[in-house]
Structure 1
Amino acid sequence: MTTLVLDIGNTAAKYGCFRGAALAEAGSVATPAELRAVAQRVQAEHVLLASVAAPADVWAAALGGAVSGKVIVLRPGETPLPIANAYATPHTLGADRLAAAVGAAHLLPGRPVLIVDAGTCIKCDLVAADGTFLGGSIAPGLRMRLQAMHHFTDRLPELALPSAHDAVTLALCGTDTRTAMLSGALHGAVAEVNGLLSSYRQQHPTLAVALAGGDAAFFESRLKGHIFVLTELVLLGLHRILVHNVG
């Protein structure tokens, strides 16, 4: 069975094509028409779409006649899931957080998992050993931290994230405004996540940590303890939800 999932985020719409249980292809699309072309090219039988930005219905409508099976829009709080969801307001839960939880429960079963999803926002979410999604935290991502300092002040400049090489050599103690802002945003984010990891590990000694998201590479060598790097965790979770709904 060939299936297609789409994760519509705040900065990009990323798709994953699965052949059976394996992720065969991943990429990005900019418009519903581009998604339709991908669905036709890979001959997708079923499609699941999830969005944390604009509603996915327009994207779903563009697939009319291009898919032989079901086109499902993931609606947290309504769409059946392969895990339990203990979130107090399930309808407000971001589809990306939900999908990552499903993926983590499938890939790391039988133990509590903390998912660190480092994207536009940094989400740290906990899945219990029995696969129940419990909730977590949402904080500004790396770019958002830099943008906020510029936006909410009169004199702090707008900075881009440094290259991978410059991030490695970034001093803890900034010696000018630029390096002080970068240190606060980047080193501060790492310290924040490591602090959360320490607290969660005290509560859950057998905790596994799954790292995902567009900025996962930045955090990979900076987080303490053993980390599972699962860069396509959201796509894998969306696929598990799709399989759960189409059999």
Structure 2
Amino acid sequence: MTGSERGGGRALLIGNSRWHWAQRQDHDLRVDHGPPEPGRIGNDPPVWAAVGPVPESLMAHQDLRIRLEDVPLPKAPPWLGVDRALGAWMAWRCSQEQQLDCSRGLLLVDAGTVLSLTRVTADGCFGGGQLIPGYRLQLQAMAEGTLGLPSTPEVPNNDALQEVFPQQTVAAMQRGVLEAMLASIAAAQQHAQGLLWICGGDAALLKKHWTGATKLLQLEGDLQLQALLSLGAGLSSGRDR
């Protein structure tokens, strides 16, 4: 029995604040993201990985869990988050399959709760990275850490983000955070000099406002879920539960 059959052709990545689902249907991949929904796990659990709290209903299915040691990313240290490893390995694999120029490696930007920058070397090994607060986490920190700054909407105001120097406070906060993220990516990419992959919930936002070179830019929002399904297909039905 293949891992995808055992997982019902489904994958679940439990993130810090949201759950990320994938369903393989023939040659299509359906994905969705939202708050934790343990009821969706059902009687035929998906292949899964976690960096956030794991519900009891999944703890009994360790045979379907993808751990860091299951991800074929050479030189990955034992403390590396499995989500970063999944994304970095899949970005490298996709680059190879698409015959992209990997002579300088790649930099994976995962724009989630945390903005993680993960470097993969030219020989496909983990090459370190950087971690900074993500878009919503930075806005939340400003609102909670000051008396005068307000809470901001969950969804970015695209009209407000068109202004470099907005007059409204919320728009100024949103634009400032966006500029900080873009500057961090640009500085890291200047050092890395290789392919630039962007994934995660805010990937489209970053790509829309990216003003750097686009020749090396690759956008793929769901690399980790693709990696889970791929690795899940190789799980043995005899794994320890």
The answer to whether the superposition gives a TM-score over 0.5 is: yes
Separation in structure 2 between the aligned mates of residue 58 and residue 108 of structure 1, nearest angstrom: 36
Residue 225 (structure 1) aligned with residue 217 (structure 2): no
In structure 2, C-alpha distance between the alignment counterparts of 1:19 and 1:246, rounded to whole Å: 22
Matched to 2:205, the amino acid is F
Aligned counterpart in structure 2 of residue 210 of structure 1, from 197, 217, 224: 197
Percent identical pairs in the alignment equals 26
- Aligned partners of 2:73 and 2:85 also within 8 Å: no
- Which residue is equivalent to 1:100? 87
Match of 1:114 in 2: 107
Partner of 1:43: none
1:49 match: secondary structure:
strand
Q: Is the CA contact (8 Å cut-off) linking 1:105 and 1:113 kept in structure 2? A: yes
Residues 23 and 99 of structure 1: CA distance in aligned 2, closer, same or farther (over 3 Å): farther
Q: Which moved more, 1:181-190 or 1:111-120?
A: 181-190
How many residues are paired up?
Answer: 221
Q: State the distance in 2 between where 1:104 and 1:234 align.
A: 9
The TM-score normalised by the length of structure 2 is 0.80
Cα distance 1:243–1:85, how it changes in 2: closer, same or farther (>3 A)? farther
* Residues 11-69 of structure 1: CA deviation (Å, up to 9, x unaligned): 2212222368x5533235743331226x48xxxxxx421111113664243x6xxxxxx
Q: The residue matched to 2:149 in structure 1 has which SS?
A: coil
Following the alignment from structure 1 to structure 2, what is the Cα–Cα distance between the partners of residues 188 and 56? 35
1:174, 1:180 within 8 Å by CA — same for their partners in 2? yes
Over the aligned positions, Cα root-mean-square deviation in angstroms equals: 2.6
Gaps spanning 5+ residues in structure 2: where?
none
Q: Which runs of 4+ in 1 moved over 6 A?
A: none
Residue 173 of structure 1 deviates from its aligned partner by: 1.9
Matches within 5 A, 1:1-247: 2=5, 3-18=9-24, 22-28=27-33, 30-36=36-42, 39=44, 47-55=46-54, 58-61=57-60, 71-76=63-68, 79-87=69-77, 90=78, 92-109=79-96, 111=102, 112-161=105-154, 163=156, 165-169=158-162, 171-201=163-193, 207-223=194-210, 224-226=212-214, 227-246=217-236
SS of 2:209's equivalent? coil
Kept after mapping to 2: 8 A contact 1:216/1:229: yes
TM-score of the two chains, using structure 1 as the length reference: 0.78
Structure 1 stretches of 5 or more lacking a match?
Answer: 41-46, 64-69, 202-206
Secondary structure of the 1:165 match is coil
- For 1:74 and 1:196, locate their aligned partners in 2 and report how far apart those are by CA, in whole Å: 29
Report the CA distance between 1:164 and its aligned residue. 5.2
Cα distance in 2 for residues equivalent to 1:197 and 1:100: 17
Q: Which has the higher contact order (CA 8 A, sep 6+)?
A: 2
Give the letter aligned to residue 24 of structure 1: L
Alpha-carbon shift at residue 219 of structure 1 (Å): 0.6
1:193 maps to amino acid: I
Once the two structures are TM-superposed, the CA of residue 98 in structure 1 deviates from its matched residue by 1.1
Q: Deviations over 1:152-209 (max 9, x none)?
A: 112211112554532542x2223343333223212222222222212221xxxxx111
Residues 26 and 180 from structure 1, CA distance in 2 versus in 1: closer, same or farther, beyond 3 angstroms?
closer
SS of 2:128's equivalent in the other structure is: strand
Within 1, Cα distance between the matches of 2:156 and 2:195?
A: 29
